[in-house]
Chain A
Amino acid sequence: MFAEFLQYLFTGITIGATYALIALGFTLIYNASHVINFAQGEFLMIGGMATVSLTAMGVPMVLAIILAVLLAGVLGILLQRFAIAPAKQADVVTLIIITIGASIFIRGLAQLVWGKEYHVMQNFSSDEPIRIFGAVLNSQSLWVLGIGAILVVGLVLFFTRTLIGKAILATSMNKEAARLVGIRTQLVLMLAFLVSAVLGSVAGVVVAPITFTSYDIGIMLGLKGFVAAAIGGLGSGMGAVVGGLLLGIVEAMAAGYISSDYKDAVAFSMILIVLFFMPRGLFGAKVVERV
């Protein structure tokens, strides 16, 4: 009984950590530009796929990862520069469609370069699973959690300790005021997309050995990240992390105890229930409408 529960918990936390990283990516871009980036999942795909294909070409793993993350970062900047920036006056829905167009475009490119097959990536360290109280923990899960934690701490430090991080925060709070005090908001927006893409691609790399990877994994992962971000409350970093972990755990428990066919339905029902009681998510800011 307990072993079973523990097993689901491990699975849930691992996938939840990935969701949290995707949700953080959403949050970053949302805060900087109020855009919901439906192409966020593609950064994960790029991270995983590029690493797999580079290692297959004989590039050492570490270098392959670095290159993959760089590639995603460049893509993030291009996305901001050429798709989001020119359309800044557009409606919310129009921006959604633009990012959906971008995600289809990126997916199409990936399909051209890497084909439609599933790819398997090796664990970072040993393939030997770890046994705890009868439950099995994939060693890669530790990598996911460890790197996830490092990234979260890094982000916190970035936003509280560095000038660039504070500039992003300032821009998210009030673009005009930020511009007045000399922050180059366009640069800040680009940076937000860059950091977001890096987060996404790293998540994509670390989770790839567990989930496999293919040109189209970005769609569902991206959506789950959006769900996690909305559960936590759009714009809240804390919310993204909690939302991601919560979503992962609930999903794993639903798959284990109810039915794996309905695990996604449980996830989507959860967001409806959360929003029913808290229309701005768990940690979303309360906004007073000014008239």
Chain B
Amino acid sequence: MLNRFMQMRLRDLIILAVILFALPLFLNNPFHYDLATQMAIIAATVVGLNLLVGFAGQISLGHAGFFGLGAYFTGIMTSNYGWSSVPALVVGAILVGIVAWIVGRPILRLKGHYLSMATLAVGFIIAIILNNERALTGGPDGMPVPAFTVFGWELSPFGSYNLLGMELNGSEAWYLFAAVVLLVAVWLAQNLIDSPIGRALRSVHGSEVAARVVGVDTARYKSLVFVVSAIYASAMGSLYAHFQGFITPAVAGFDFSILFITMVVLGGMGSTMGVILGAVVLKLLPQVLADFQELETVMFGAILMLTMIFMPKGLLPTIQTAVGKRMKKKAGGQA
């Protein structure tokens, strides 16, 4: 028996895979590939954030803090201590998960704007520490991060690779890697949503009292999803650091946190495919607007405002509703 989520999951994963692997047909230089790779990594981050914001209904205005911690843990361990990438990513993610659990427990008791305030504060504190611990992080000037390595095999934007007979340059190889990572991130997120844990999370958003009186320990589930989304952010931060080859404390900063949450809200809270679209749109928009030079900021602000005013549910849900209505009309007309 296929339930609603099963169908949606398969459909979404297939659509996403097709798009991701067809995209190279339209990418014709390393710059395009690099942009697409960034998008995929950021998209995977917001897929994780969406579990917290979209499904459990808890706001975080400080998620870049976890992203930055992951990025810097990887940077420091691989360049200063000679760790390999995978252990750095995994240990970093576990440590960030622990940090998230420790700070999450008390702050997730807070509601609404107080929670946004507290998460914002956590993000800020992390960014300030990264900025000031110069000996470790290089301070505001940032630090270089070596290429991604697994068992001595190196994935560098400047390398060249051979995959099943295909000649790939470093940018193309990174893109494929990031695409697979995004697919896995989506698959895991979907598994989590369509499960008893996922129901408990969504019930926290739907009606917290209802959840509690049927036995859901809501505090525990809020912490759990906070930790999971922080781990997503940390792991993607690690990859981002390798891919960029250089990181500054800005990756943990307020602007990045706001960018993440905006991607979730703009794309469509609670819609995994929606938030990926949000990530793509918000990464592309500055590229498109760059032609307008000094008008860029004004136009970015205006577009953001107008989209949210006229599509408060977010891009993808609004589009889906509109398409759904159209289809119904058509079906009705034919009958």
Contact = CB atoms under 8 A, between A and B. Distances in A.
Interface of A: 30, 36, 83, 86-87, 89-94, 96-98, 100-109, 111-112, 219, 223, 226-227, 230, 234, 259, 261-262, 264-265, 268-269, 271-272, 275-276, 279-281, 289, 291
B8 interface: no
Contact of A108 (B53, B106, B298): B298
23 contacts: A36-B116, A92-B113, A94-B265, A97-B262, A98-B304, A100-B304, A101-B303, A104-B304, A105-B301, A105-B302, A108-B295, A230-B113, A261-B132, A264-B128, A268-B120, A268-B121, A271-B118, A272-B125, A275-B114, A276-B107, A279-B109, A279-B110, A291-B209
B309 A91 contact: no
A157 B300 CA distance: 40
Contacts of B305: 83, 98, 101-102, 105
A275 B116 contact: no
B219 to A, nearest CB: 13
Interface string B273-314: 000000000000000000000111111111111101110100
Contact of B265 (A97, A105, A281): A97
A112 B129 CA distance: 33
Contacts of B121: 227, 268-269, 271-272
B124 interface: yes
B332 interface: no
Interface residues of B, number: 48
Contact of B122 (A101, A109, A272): A272
A86 B114 contact: no
A101 B298 contact: no
A257 B67 CA distance: 31
Contacts of A107: 297, 301
Interface in B103-154: 106-107, 109-114, 116-118, 120-122, 124-125, 128-129, 131-132
B265 A112 contact: no
B124 A100 contact: no
Contact of A98 (B110, B116, B254, B309): B309
Contacts of B261: 93, 96-97
A91 B124 contact: no
A87 B125 CA distance: 32
Contacts of B258: 100
Interface of B: 53, 59, 61, 106-107, 109-114, 116-118, 120-122, 124-125, 128-129, 131-132, 209, 254, 258, 261-262, 265-266, 269, 294-306, 308-310, 312
B300 A108 contact: yes
Given A93-B265, A97-B261, A112 B294 contact: yes
Given A97-B304, A272-B118, 14 more contacts: A36-B113, A36-B116, A92-B59, A92-B113, A102-B301, A107-B301, A108-B296, A108-B301, A230-B117, A234-B114, A261-B131, A268-B124, A272-B121, A275-B118
Contacts of B312: 87, 89-91, 94
Nearest to A90: B312
Nearest to A271: B121
Contacts of A276: 106-107
Given A105-B305, A280-B114, A97 B266 contact: yes
Which 10 A-B pairs have CB atoms at the shortest separation, nearest pair first? A105-B301, A108-B297, A104-B301, A108-B298, A101-B304, A101-B305, A268-B121, A90-B312, A265-B128, A230-B117
A278 B305 CA distance: 33
Nearest to A279: B110
B132 A262 contact: yes
A271 B124 CA distance: 12
A271 B107 CA distance: 11
A100 B120 CA distance: 14
Contacts of A230: 113-114, 117
A232 to B, nearest CB: 12
Given A36-B116, A98-B308, A265 B298 contact: no
A90 B117 CA distance: 19
Contacts of A86: 309-310
Contacts of A223: 120, 254
Nearest to B120: A223
Residue from B109, B120, B129 whose CB has the most chain A CB atoms within 10 Å: B120
Contacts of B266: 97
B268 to A, nearest CB: 11
Nearest to B262: A97
B298 A109 contact: yes
Nearest to B128: A265
Residue from A101, A103, A271 whose CB has the most chain B CB atoms within 10 Å: A101
Residue from A86, A89, A92, A289 whose CB has the most chain B CB atoms within 10 Å: A92
Contact of B308 (A90, A92, A262, A265): A90
B302 to A, nearest CB: 5
A226 to B, nearest CB: 7
Nearest to B314: A94
Contacts of B110: 275, 279
A143 B261 CA distance: 39
Contacts of B296: 108
A91 B58 CA distance: 12
B107 A265 contact: no
A268 B296 CA distance: 31
Contacts of A92: 59, 112-113
